[in-house]
Amino acid sequence: MLEQIQKAFTQVDALMFERQLEWAKGRKEALQKFNEEARKEKMHIQTKFQRKVQIAGGKKWLNYFDLAGEKGLVQIIRKNIDELISHRNDRIIKALNKKGITEIGDFELKQTSDGYEGTFLIDGHIVKINTIFAGGYNVQCLHQRTIINVK
C-alpha cells in the first residue's frame, strides 16, 4: 500500500521540496540582508533577535539558518519534507486500515487549482484524498495539507 501512495504522490512531494527549499533560501537571504542593515544601526539586542526570529519564521528556523551552509540547508529541508511525507502517508494508511482496507492498487492524483486530489472506489469504500498547498499572510511557509475521507 505504501508503494502505491508514494508513487501517486511523487510529483506533489517533489513540488513540496522545491517550494520549501525556495522559501528557506529566501528567508536565509532576508536574514543576511537584515544582519547587514542591523550592523549599521544601533539596535537593542533583544529587538534585533525578535526581528530575526520573525524573518526566519521561528526560533528553530533561525538556528537552522544561522548554523547551516547551503548544503546543510538542503539536507535540513530534505529531512523536514521527508518527515512530513512520512506523516502524511501514515495518516492515509491509518485511515484506510480503520475501514478494513489493507491493499490498494495504483492510483493517480489529478492536479487542481489549489493542489491535488483523487477519488477512488476500494473494496466498496469511496476514498477521497485531497492535498492542498496552504499558506497565507500568517503562515511561515507554503506547506501541504492532506485530507483523507473513507466512506
In tens, the pLDDT along 115-145 reads 777 787 787 888 888 877 766 555 556 667 7
pLDDT of residue 140: 58
Q: Which H helix or E strand runs over 147?
A: strand 143-150
Domain that holds residue 26: 2-150
User: Total structural domains in the chain?
Assistant: 1
pLDDT of residue 139: 55
> What average pLDDT does the structure give for the chain?
85
Q: Is the model's pLDDT at 57 over the cut of 90?
A: no
pLDDT of residue 138: 52
pLDDT of residue 136: 56
Cα 61–chain centre separation: 14
Rounded percentage of the chain residues whose pLDDT exceeds 90: 30
